[in-house]
Structure formats: structure tokens, C-alpha cells
């Protein structure tokens, strides 16, 4: 057979042989490092047989493909170990993820992280046994029979998801078999080192209507030193956890008399959010948005019209009971119906469109108690919400504009490299979950895909993740624990305009239906603040820092000078405080450093006499002395740049 390598060179080999043997013909070294291969673009394990002309590529741990196969194999080893220890466990899914892997289980009795030692020991013995991992394919009927015998109901659902005509494959190691598309390493012994890192709850298929499963996270590397370095970094990252650091820095707090998911944003946090909000509202104004200010509650009539009452009631807070009270008042989960009501106040012509409404909106969602976390999952939040009402011809440019605004915000907050894009589509198999016809969905999703491709945005597709009224683009961020959350959303909507009977008069003087885009520019302020705390490790850039400068007196003799300088800075528009306590300078500097105040100005007798201040930056250290005017100019420049130092 003729094997064509990646560089285009060809190799003539006699007879069929395993992928590993083919790799050996390329080089012994490559074969030793080989984890998985691709023949004619299709993944093959190194123990699978190649028996005809094909293109051939080998992947090692240096390649993304190699790492994924390696870590995914480790997730099977985890599943096998858990199954050995807890024979009644139900297995859900176990993919490789960035830097590691996880597996979702349903345990009869919950386990804790204390059980990791036992599971890790079992995994080690599976690795030591070096069991070959063998792929097999079978018909759907046989697969159903096999899964029934294994008594794995989640696997049965996963099997049903495999489209007709697609190959159904299983991987077997020892007495453990799992439904899986692969690819895998050739044997369990190929895994050199791994570590289980954490345990969280996760809903089956990510849907809170489903059962909460136990997700075990782990990581795996080919070198122990690399893994140690990674675990060290992970520990460092945990110190940045906004739920810990945000409280330590006095940004927010919670109180059990107030309740779960209802954080109190403290003065420093409130200042940061105020600055963000001013920035966002000003930018939106520049981009043609009209500001609205609408109530946080309404009669449920509004949400009956919007469809939320039918589709979303269990996530809403409301006062009053159906069939008992004359009036039910709902705390709003969204702003849309309020802005639509404003739109309908007066007849609109095509000349009025697009209309872009924006609002800094307080909203409420009844998050389940197990789901609430710090500032990221809360019951009351502040959304930079907005809706664009446009003609069908304007849809593409308006969607592109909404995405451009998000990209601008990400750039300003230095978050561009920290997000991924997810295109959330409907689930055609569950059509009754959605409003609108199949044709509507295909049309709008098609338009959106074209726009995303034109904008050059890389994205993943999530089938079944769309809202009931349209497909959406989610901008996803990952917290220090590796948990992904939606930061911003742009959503197309072809349903609500009809429900609210929204109209405009088109060029021909006929009544026409507008289209709607739900969008956010900076998302939920609380959640974005959480992301920023972790990203900046609490060291907010000058323009966002709640306290930008702290003026320290070296001795009591210079206390008045320090206070005077602090008020000069405040008058110049900077956020400055004076620390004139009779404490040692070292202690005062350390405190300012811990609170991550960008600049500390020290005034001793000499500085007071010369009319200067000694300037110290939290990361750059001593910057020498300068006059107050010089410092103000320098600080103002840094604030205007919005750069992070
Ligand atoms: Zn697998
Ligand atoms: Zn909306």
C-alpha cells in the first residue's frame, strides 16, 4: 500500500499493518511518542490496522489531537475505576476538555473529594495492567442490546442521539466497555501520570430540568514535572477565585438574613460597577442606542403575551396566585416586553428603523439553591440589556453591529483572549419546545451562520441550547475552577414581534413585521465583575480601580500635607485617600499593596519641604519623586489609556 505523509512524501509498504507499525516505518522515535493517528482524515488508534492506500498523520502529546486522545483515555480509566468500586454507578459522558478531562456519574450515594485517593489507586492499577483498548462497531440493534445488558440508561439516550447512518462504536479495556466515538490510546498503560482535581454537580445535558450528576474533573500529562507545574498554576488560580478574593478586597459580601444569590455590592464594588456602567451607557449612546428606564415588575399579562409565563414560569419570582388573586405581579426575568411596549407607543415607519433600545436593567431569576455562586449565579442581577428592532434587510448589519460592540467591550476590558463563542441552535427533535416553524429556524440560523463566518468569528455549535424564541450567539468565559458561563449574548428573535403585534409601515405603505435582536454589551455587571476580579487578580487597571491613589504621611509632621495632596488629587478627578495614621510606613505600604491600590504617594519632611511626592506603583515599584501636578498628568494619561499595568 502507498502511505502519503503530511509533507506530501509517499511510502510504499507491504501488506496490512497497525498504525503503530506504519509509524515505525516513518521513525522509531515518532512511533515511541505516537498517541493516535489519522488515516485519510479519520482518527485511528495506534493498534488499529491500516490496509490500503491512505494519507497518514501521527499525533504525539505535543499536538492538541494527541493530548485529547490521551486525556479522553484517562476519562475511560476513571469510569472503569469508579465502576469497579461502585458497581451500581450510572455513566453519562466523559470528554477531554482544555487541560484535562471529566466524567459525569450518577452515584447511588453521593461521594466526596475524600474518595479520590481510593479512585486514584484503582485507576493506577488499571494503568499498570496495561489493558489493550479495543474498538468495535456494531449495528444499532446490537448496540441497544449491549447497553441494555450493561443497564446504562444515559448511554441509551446517547445512542439515540447518534444520527442514522453514522458508525456506532464501542471501546473495550479489560471487562469495561463504553459507547464512544473515540479516538483512544492503544492501551491503558500509555497514560503516564494523572490527577483527579475536583468534583462538582452538573446537570445531565446541562439542563436544570434534568438530574444533577456528579462530575469528576482530572488532568493527565505525559511528564510528571509538567503536571506538577500545571497543578501549581491551578492552585495559584484558585487564590484568584472572585468568591474569595472579592470578599477579601471588600468588593462584595453576602448575609444569610438577606439570602442566597443576593450579594451586597460594597462601596469598592459599587464604584467599579458605576464606572463600567457609565462607560457602557456612553458607548451605547455613541452607537445610536436610545436609553430606557422601565419597571422591575409587571402584571403577569405581559409575560403571558411574551410566552415566558408558559415557558419560563418556574424560573420567575411572582407575587399572587393564579385563579385566586385578581392580579399577579412578576419580578421581571428580562426587559424585552417592556421595551417592546415602548416601541408600540406610536406607529413606526421603515424610516424609523432600526431602533436600538438599551437599559441598565435589574432582573430576577429563580436560580436553584445548589447553583448559586458568588457573583456569577445570583437571583438579582444588573444586565446591560437592549433590543434592536429592525427590518429583515437590516438584520445582518444590526447583528454584526451588536457583535462588534461586544468585541469592543472585550478589547477594552482586556478579555478578548479569555472568551470563546458558542452558536446555540435549536433541537429539531424537540420542536415542540420552541415557538416558530422549522422553516423559521432554518432561515434565521442560516443567516446567523453567514454573518459569523463573514465576521471571521471562530465558534462551536451547541444544538438544543437556543432559547425557545430563537438561535443565539453566546460569548463564554471560564472561571478559575474551569467552569464555563455565558458572559454576553446576542439573540435573534422571529417570534416575539408577532406575539406583541409589533408593526412598521414599509416602503409600499403596507404593514410589516420587524425582526428583533436581543443583545447585551457587557452582560450582567455582577458576573462580568467576577470575571474581572479573577482576570486582574484584584489589581484593577487605573480607570476602574475604586481607589486609585493612597497618600501616606511618613510622620505625624506631614499628616496635613498628605491630606492636602489627597484633596488636590480628588479635585483633579482622581479617587484618592490619605492614610495619616501613626503607623510605620512599611505597614501602611503593605496594606495598600494588599488592597491593590495602583499608586502610593509618600510624603516625608524632605518631600514636604521640596513640594513633591515620592511615587510608588503596585507592580513597578519606586518611580522617584515628582510634583503633584506632574503626578496628576501622569495618572490622567493612564486613566484615559484604560491600559492595565
Ligand atoms: Zn471514549
Ligand atoms: Zn430580551
| Smallest-distance ligand from the CA of 388 | 2
**Span 238-268, pLDDT tens digits:** 889 999 999 999 999 999 999 989 999 999 9
CATH class of 2-60: alpha beta
**Span 452-503, pLDDT tens digits:** 888 788 999 999 988 877 889 999 988 777 778 888 899 988 788 999 999 9
Q: Is the peptide bond before 436 cis (omega within 30 degrees of 0)?
A: no
Which pLDDT does position 485 carry in this prediction?
82
User: What is the 337 CA–ligand 2 centroid distance (Å)?
Assistant: 8
Question: In the structure grid, which three cell numbers stand for residue 373, read together?
Answer: 455562586
d(CA 329, CA 124): 58
User: What is the 486 CA–ligand 2 centroid distance (Å)?
Assistant: 15
Which pLDDT does position 486 carry in this prediction?
85
Least confident of 121-130, 336-345, 354-363, 424-433: 424-433
Which pLDDT does position 90 carry in this prediction?
96
User: What is the 146 CA–ligand 1 centroid distance (Å)?
Assistant: 16
**Span 318-374, pLDDT tens digits:** 999 888 888 999 999 999 999 999 999 999 999 999 999 999 999 999 988 777 889
Backbone φ, ψ for residue 256 (5° rounding)? -70, -20
Reply yes or no on whether the pLDDT at 511 is more than 90.
Answer: yes
| Smallest-distance ligand from the CA of 179 | 1
User: What is the 406 CA–ligand 2 centroid distance (Å)?
Assistant: 16
Which pLDDT does position 453 carry in this prediction?
87
| Smallest-distance ligand from the CA of 177 | 1
User: What is the 218 CA–ligand 1 centroid distance (Å)?
Assistant: 15
Which pLDDT does position 395 carry in this prediction?
85
Which pLDDT does position 66 carry in this prediction?
96
| Smallest-distance ligand from the CA of 96 | 1
Reply yes or no on whether the pLDDT at 237 is more than 90.
Answer: no
Reply yes or no on whether the pLDDT at 623 is more than 90.
Answer: yes
State how beta strands 297-299 and 252-253 pair.
unpaired
Which pLDDT does position 277 carry in this prediction?
97
In the numeric block, the cell 515620592 is attached to 614
In the numeric block, the cell 491613589 is attached to 549
| Smallest-distance ligand from the CA of 80 | 1
Which pLDDT does position 21 carry in this prediction?
94
In the numeric block, the cell 445535558 is attached to 205
Phi-psi region of 606 (alpha: psi -120 to 50; beta: other; left: phi over 0): alpha
DSSP state of 176: E
| Smallest-distance ligand from the CA of 95 | 1
User: What is the 76 CA–ligand 1 centroid distance (Å)?
Assistant: 6
Q: What is the CA radius of gyration of the chain?
A: 29
Domains 2-60 and 549-641 share a fold: no
| Smallest-distance ligand from the CA of 357 | 2
User: What is the 486 CA–ligand 1 centroid distance (Å)?
Assistant: 27
Question: In the structure grid, which three cell numbers stand for residue 608, read together?
Answer: 514636604
Question: In the structure grid, which three cell numbers stand for residue 209, read together?
Answer: 430540568
User: What is the 272 CA–ligand 2 centroid distance (Å)?
Assistant: 25
User: What is the 334 CA–ligand 2 centroid distance (Å)?
Assistant: 6
User: What is the 388 CA–ligand 1 centroid distance (Å)?
Assistant: 44
Architecture of domain 65-234: 2-Layer Sandwich (3.30)
CB atoms within 10 A of CB 133: 26
**Span 512-522, pLDDT tens digits:** 999 999 999 99
In the numeric block, the cell 469497579 is attached to 84
8 Å CB contact between 69 and 184: yes
User: What is the 476 CA–ligand 1 centroid distance (Å)?
Assistant: 25
| Smallest-distance ligand from the CA of 69 | 1
User: What is the 249 CA–ligand 2 centroid distance (Å)?
Assistant: 33
Reply yes or no on whether the pLDDT at 397 is more than 80.
Answer: yes
Higher-confidence residue of 299 and 441: namely 299
Which pLDDT does position 311 carry in this prediction?
81
Rounded mean pLDDT, 411-439: 88
CB atoms within 10 A of CB 633: 13
**Span 584-616, pLDDT tens digits:** 999 999 999 999 999 999 999 999 999 999 999
8 Å CB contact between 390 and 402: no
Q: Give 314-382 as a 3 state SS string.
A: HHCCEECCCCCCCCCEEECCCCHHHHHHHHCCCCCEHHHCCEEEEEEEEEECCCCHHHCECCCECCEEE
Question: What is the per-residue burial (b if ≥16 Cβ within 10 Å, else e) of 369-384?
Answer: eeebbbbbbbbbbbbb
User: What is the 419 CA–ligand 2 centroid distance (Å)?
Assistant: 22
Backbone φ, ψ for residue 411 (5° rounding)? -65, -45
Reply yes or no on whether the pLDDT at 280 is more than 80.
Answer: yes
| Smallest-distance ligand from the CA of 467 | 2
What does pTM read for this prediction? 0.74
User: What is the 501 CA–ligand 2 centroid distance (Å)?
Assistant: 16
8 Å CB contact between 473 and 518: no
User: What is the 618 CA–ligand 2 centroid distance (Å)?
Assistant: 41
User: What is the 336 CA–ligand 2 centroid distance (Å)?
Assistant: 4
Which pLDDT does position 342 carry in this prediction?
98
| Smallest-distance ligand from the CA of 518 | 2
The dihedral built from the CA positions of residue 130, 136, 140 and 142, taken in this order, carries a sign that is negative
| Smallest-distance ligand from the CA of 383 | 2
User: What is the 115 CA–ligand 1 centroid distance (Å)?
Assistant: 23
User: What is the 460 CA–ligand 2 centroid distance (Å)?
Assistant: 23
User: What is the 140 CA–ligand 2 centroid distance (Å)?
Assistant: 42
Helices marked H in 201-292 — which ranges?
Answer: 224-239, 242-248, 267-286
| Smallest-distance ligand from the CA of 384 | 2
Ligand 1 ion local residues (Cβ < 5 A): 180
Which pLDDT does position 207 carry in this prediction?
79
pLDDT grade for 529, boundaries at 50, 70 and 90: very high
Instruction: Say what the alpha-carbon torsion angle 125, 126, 128, 133 is, to the nearest 10 degrees.
Output: 180
When the pLDDT of each residue in the chain is averaged and rounded to a whole number, the result is: 93
User: What is the 226 CA–ligand 2 centroid distance (Å)?
Assistant: 45
Count Cβ atoms within 10 A of the Cβ of residue 440 and give its class: 0-12 exposed, 13-18 middle, 19 or more buried.
middle
User: What is the 74 CA–ligand 1 centroid distance (Å)?
Assistant: 9
User: What is the 586 CA–ligand 1 centroid distance (Å)?
Assistant: 56
User: What is the 230 CA–ligand 1 centroid distance (Å)?
Assistant: 24
| Smallest-distance ligand from the CA of 520 | 2
User: What is the 642 CA–ligand 2 centroid distance (Å)?
Assistant: 30
8 Å CB contact between 44 and 38: yes
Domain 549-641 fold is Rossmann fold (3.40.50)
Question: In the structure grid, which three cell numbers stand for residue 300, read together?
Answer: 403577569
| Smallest-distance ligand from the CA of 93 | 1
User: What is the 520 CA–ligand 2 centroid distance (Å)?
Assistant: 9
d(CA 345, CA 81): 64
8 Å CB contact between 359 and 324: no
**Span 31-55, pLDDT tens digits:** 999 999 999 999 999 999 998 899 9
CB atoms within 10 A of CB 443: 15
Least confident of 196-210, 354-368, 372-386: 196-210
The dihedral built from the CA positions of residue 621, 623, 627 and 633, taken in this order, carries a sign that is negative
CATH class of 252-294+332-536: alpha beta
User: What is the 206 CA–ligand 2 centroid distance (Å)?
Assistant: 22
Domain residue limits, the chain: 2-60, 65-234, 252-294+332-536, 549-641
| Smallest-distance ligand from the CA of 135 | 1
Which pLDDT does position 392 carry in this prediction?
86
Which pLDDT does position 264 carry in this prediction?
98
User: What is the 205 CA–ligand 1 centroid distance (Å)?
Assistant: 17
Amino acid at each position: 500500500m502507498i502511505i502519503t505523509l503530511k509533507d506530501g512524501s509517499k511510502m510504499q509498504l507491504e501488506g496490512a499493518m497497525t498504525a503503530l507499525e506504519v509509524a515505525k516505518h516513518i521513525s522509531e522515535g515518532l512511533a515511541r511518542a505516537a498517541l493516535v493517528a489519522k488515516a485519510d482524515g479519520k482518527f485511528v488508534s495506534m493498534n488499529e490496522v491500516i490496509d490500503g492506500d491512505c494519507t497518514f498523520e501521527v499525533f504525539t502529546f505535543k499536538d492538541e489531537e494527541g493530548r485529547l486522545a490521551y486525556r479522553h483515555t484517562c476519562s475511560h480509566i476513571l469510569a472503569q475505576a469508579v465502576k469497579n468500586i461502585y458497581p451500581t454507578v450510572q455513566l453519562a459522558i466523559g470528554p477531554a476538555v482544555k487541560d484535562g478531562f471529566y466524567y459525569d456519574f450518577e452515584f447511588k450515594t453521593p461521594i466526596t473529594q475524600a474518595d479520590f485517593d481510593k479512585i486514584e489507586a484503582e485507576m493506577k492499577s488499571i494503568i499498570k495492567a496495561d489493558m489493550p483498548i479495543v474498538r468495535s462497531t456494531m449495528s444499532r440493534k446490537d448496540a441497544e442490546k449491549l447497553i441494555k445488558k450493561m443497564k446504562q440508561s444515559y448511554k441509551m439516550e446517547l445512542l439515540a442521539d447518534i444520527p442514522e447512518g453514522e458508525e456506532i462504536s464501542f471501546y473495550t479495556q479489560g471487562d469495561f466497555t463504553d459507547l464512544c466515538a473515540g479516538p483512544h490510546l492503544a492501551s491503558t498503560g500509555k497514560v503516564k501520570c494523572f490527577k483527579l482535581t475536583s468534583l462538582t454537580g452538573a446537570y445531565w445535558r446541562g439542563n436544570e430540568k434534568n438530574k444533577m450528576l456528579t462530575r469528576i474533573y482530572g488532568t493527565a500529562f505525559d511528564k510528571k514535572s509538567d503536571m506538577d507545574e500545571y497543578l501549581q498554576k491551578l492552585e495559584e488560580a484558585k487564590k484568584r477565585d472572585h468568591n474569595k478574593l472579592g470578599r477579601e478586597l471588600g468588593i462584595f459580601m453576602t448575609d444569610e438574613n438577606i439570602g442566597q444569590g443576593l450579594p451586597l455590592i460594597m462601596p469598592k464594588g459599587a464604584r467599579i460597577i458605576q464606572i463600567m456602567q457609565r462607560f457602557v451607557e456612553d458607548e451605547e449612546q455613541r452607537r445610536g442606542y436610545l436609553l430606557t428606564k422601565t419597571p422591575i415588575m409587571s402584571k403577569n399579562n405581559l409575560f403571558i403575551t411574551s410566552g415566558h409565563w408558559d415557558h419560563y414560569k418556574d424560573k420567575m419570582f411572582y407575587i399572587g396566585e393564579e385563579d385566586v388573586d385578581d392580579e399577579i405581579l412578576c419580578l421581571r426575568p428580562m426587559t424585552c416586553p417592556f421595551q417592546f411596549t415602548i416601541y408600540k407607543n406610536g406607529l413606526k415607519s421603515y424610516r424609523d428603523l432600526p431602533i436600538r433600545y438599551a437599559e441598565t436593567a435589574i432582573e430576577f431569576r429563580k436560580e436553584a439553591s445548589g447553583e448559586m455562586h458568588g457573583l456569577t449565579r445570583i437571583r438579582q442581577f444588573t444586565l446591560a440589556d437592549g433590543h434592536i428592532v429592525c427590518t429583515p434587510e437590516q438584520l445582518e448589519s444590526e447583528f454584526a453591529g451588536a457583535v462588534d460592540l461586544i468585541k469592543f467591550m472585550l478589547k477594552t476590558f482586556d478579555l478578548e483572549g479569555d472568551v470563546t463563542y458558542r452558536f446555540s441552535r435549536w433541537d429539531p427533535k424537540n420542536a415542540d419546545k420552541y415557538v416558530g416553524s422549522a422553516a423559521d429556524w432554518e432561515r434565521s440560523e442560516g443567516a446567523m451562520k453567514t454573518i459569523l463566518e463573514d465576521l471571521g468569528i471562530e465558534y462551536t455549535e451547541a444544538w438544543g441550547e437556543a432559547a425557545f424564541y430563537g438561535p443565539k450567539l453566546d460569548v463564554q468565559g471560564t472561571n478559575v475552577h474551569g467552569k464555563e458561563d455565558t458572559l454576553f449574548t446576542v439573540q435573534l428573535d422571529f417570534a416575539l414581534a408577532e406575539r406583541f403585534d409589533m408593526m412598521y409601515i414599509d416602503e409600499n405603505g403596507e404593514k410589516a413585521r420587524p425582526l428583533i435582536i436581543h443583545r447585551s454589551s457587557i452582560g450582567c455587571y455582577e458576573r462580568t465583575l467576577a470575571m474581572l476580579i479573577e482576570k486582574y487578580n484584584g489589581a484593577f487597571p487605573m480607570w476602574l480601580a475604586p481607589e486609585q491613589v493612597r497618600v501616606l504621611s511618613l510622620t505625624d509632621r506631614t499628616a496635613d500635607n498628605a491630606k492636602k495632596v489627597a484633596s488636590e488629587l480628588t479635585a483633579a478627578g482622581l479617587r484618592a485617600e490619605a492614610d495619616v495614621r501613626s503607623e510605620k510606613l512599611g505597614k501602611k505600604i503593605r496594606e495598600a499593596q494588599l488592597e491593590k491600590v495602583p499608586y502610593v504617594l509618600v510624603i516625608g519632611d524632605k518631600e514636604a519641604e521640596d513640594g513633591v511626592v515620592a511615587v510608588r506603583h503596585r507592580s513597578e515599584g519606586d518611580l522617584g519623586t515628582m510634583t503633584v501636578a506632574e503626578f496628576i498628568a501622569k495618572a490622567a494619561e493612564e486613566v484615559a489609556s484604560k491600559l492595565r499595568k
